[in-house]
Amino acid sequence: MTPRAVRRAERAAHLVWAALLILAAYDLLPSWGDPLVRWVVVPASAASGFAMWFAAPIRRLVKRVRAAVTPPIEARSR
């Protein structure tokens, strides 16, 4: 997946969680929605927010770690 596609998916997920939180705030969810909001929507919304916030630094870190761990092409062919 390209970084652009990942960002779009993260934004879409974050907007879905936000819509569910708005429905809960205005008491438009059925009674089974309260535990869903408390145990699924709020943590998922926080996780998607952090994922959007830290996606680029994490991607750069992974790229640096892979470069440090993977030997150069010349060394791999021996």
Interatomic CA distance for residues 7 and 12, integer angstroms: 9
Domain total in the chain? 1
pLDDT digits (tens, 9 = 90+) for 6-33: 889 989 999 999 999 999 999 998 888 8
| pLDDT of 76 | 63
> Looking at the predicted structure, is the pLDDT value of residue 2 above 80?
yes
Domain, as residue range, for 36: 3-76
**Distance between CA atoms of 71 and 22, rounded to whole angstroms?**
50
